[in-house]
Amino acid sequence: MNNQKVKWGIIGVGNVTEVKSGPAFNKVANSEILMVMRRNLEKAENYSKRHLIPGFTNNAEDIFNNPDINAVYIATPPSTHAEYAIRAANAKKNVYVEKPMATTYAECKAMIDACTKNGVKLFVAYYRRELDYFKKIKELIDSKVIGDVKFVDIKLLHPPNENDFEKDNLPWRVKKEIAGGGYFYDLASHQFDFLDFLFGPIKSAKGNSTNQLNLYDVEDIVTSSFLFESNVMGSGTWCFTVQENQKLDRTEIIGSKGKIIFSFFEPNPIELISDGTTTYFKIEYPKHVQQALINSVVKDILETGKCISTGQSGARANYFLEQVIS
């Protein structure tokens, strides 16, 4: 596809596409959105008008059958990722799918197989791999400023969301049939994809999970221990029912000469402790957090670069989630 343009169809234009991702497709070189799809036609039309996109529909087939579209961004909840990705692949469209990649590892493998069979590319929206904040962490680790990494410890503690108390109006993120699990699936998937980027695949993982507050049916607290193929050890605790004053988003990477402390979801500076001194790196997120990753996706499709968030790497995050929750 050298010297061509990536022309996108977007399936699902909810909140994530308003700022985080959607506008970036028209800001990246050699990329443009031709059509958006949402089951509610009025909302699809409204999105297309606000974002100056020429086409809109409430039928995904209109995107799959459009000969001018050569790539599909799937921004629906995880329960439909596999279906839409496989249909896109069968229509010979490249695929960029939201995270987590699917509700199960088996679905991830089916998506990979469909794209391989049809000769199209598959990417997953784990955008932290291309954000300057997280690239700085990788740079610090690769430079051995904290020596050889020994272990990583994750703490993610969050109070319940308002809708968690509404039995008849629960968020889809705590419905297993839609999300694959609870908030752990939604948030820890980002964390483990990034740690995979830093240290390579996880060799083994064990976990315990339960539901302590009974606001919904899926897990609300998880603990885990894990081992990377690179021999780095890890542990983590995720709890989504703490008090507001107990809220915590803190990950520590411990090395033989120091440590790095950072947050995955809060705008806290990176803290480097080495040789008895502490250095802070305050790196802001860009307005469109997926833009750098989308740029690499476009270059990969056009064969002018490589994207580092693929179907293969994305599937590994799902594999880990299942090892912990099983």
Cα 297–189–36 angle (5° rounding)?
Answer: 45
- Residue 186 is predicted with a pLDDT of 96
What tokens does 297 get?
């996706």
- One domain for residues 173 and 71: no
**Closest residue by Cα to residue 316 from 108, 96, 80, 128:** 108
Whether 240 and 294 share a structural domain = no
Domains identified in the chain, total number = 2
Query: Does one domain contain both 279 and 138?
Result: yes
The upper half-sphere exposure of residue 303, i.e. CA atoms within 13 Å in the direction of its Cβ, equals 5
pLDDT for position 3: 54
Q: What is the pLDDT of residues 141-195, one digit of tens each?
A: 999 999 999 999 999 999 999 999 999 999 999 999 999 999 999 999 999 999 9
Residues 121 and 153 in one domain: no
Q: Which two tokens stand for residue 29?
A: 């070189």
Is residue 10 located within the same domain as residue 101?
A: yes
CATH number at residue 266: 3.30.360.10
**Model confidence pLDDT, tens digit, residues 6-42:** 999 999 999 999 999 999 999 999 999 999 999 999 9
Phi, psi for 155 (deg, rounded to 5): -130, 120
Q: What CA–CA distances, in Å, run from 320 to 138, 186, 197, 216, 227?
A: 21, 13, 14, 23, 11
Same domain, 122 and 142: no
Domain assignment present for residue 194? The answer is yes
Q: Are residues 145 and 39 in the same domain?
A: no
Q: Does 271 share its domain with 238?
A: yes
**How much is the pLDDT for 326?**
79
Domain with 48, as residue range(s), is: 6-128+289-319
Both 97 and 10 in one domain: the answer is: yes
Pick out the chain residues at pLDDT < 70: 1-3
Q: Are residues 136 and 98 located together in one domain of the fold?
A: no
85 shares its domain with 214:
no
The helix/strand/coil state of 283 is coil
In a domain, 325, yes or no: no
User: What are the residues whose beta carbons fall under 8 Å from the beta carbon of 35, sequence distance 6 or more?
Assistant: 9, 10, 48, 53, 54, 55, 56, 57, 62, 63, 66, 69
Residue 326 lies in a domain: no
What distance in Å separates the CA atoms of residue 249 and residue 246, rounded to the nearest whole number? 10
313: CATH: 3.40.50.720
Give the tokens for residue 249: 């988003």
48 lies in the same domain as 85 = yes
